[in-house]
Amino acid sequence: MQTYTANEAKTRFGEFLDRVQREPVRVMRHDRVVGVMVSAEDYEAMRAFYADRLLRTMDEAGAEAQRAGLSPDLLAQLLADES
């Protein structure tokens, strides 16, 4: 993975954008990574991947809760604000 300083990314922005289309690019400031720039296509693919993973995790948790006896009515009772 290519690394640019924040100043290099600013002064060579066109080159920076071209590089990002080919691979993620680390951005450093004061000797620490402050960000990673990726192409819009890679970003959308990551968003879709994590959204799908979250949905699968939620489905699995819901199925496990049902197996453990948690019904919609019991959940409503547990979440009711009775203070």
Pair 34, 52 in one domain: no
Burial of 25 (0-12, 13-18, 19+ CB in 10 A): buried
Torsion 26-27-29-35 (CA) sign:
negative
Pair 11, 26 in one domain: yes
Pair 29, 45 in one domain: no
Residue 83 confidence (pLDDT): 58
Pair 45, 30 in one domain: no
Pair 46, 26 in one domain: no
Pair 74, 54 in one domain: yes
Pair 33, 10 in one domain: yes
pLDDT confidence tier of residue 59, bands split at 50, 70 and 90: very high
81/68: higher pLDDT:
68
Q: Each residue of 8-55: pLDDT tens digit?
A: 999 999 999 999 999 999 999 999 999 999 999 999 999 999 999 999
Pair 8, 23 in one domain: yes
Amino acid letter for position 27: V
State how far the Cα of 29 lies from the Cα of 6, in Å rounded to an integer. Answer: 6
Residue 81 confidence (pLDDT): 74
> 29 lies in which domain range?
2-38
Pair 30, 46 in one domain: no
How many domains, in total, are found in the chain?
2
Residue 72 confidence (pLDDT): 87
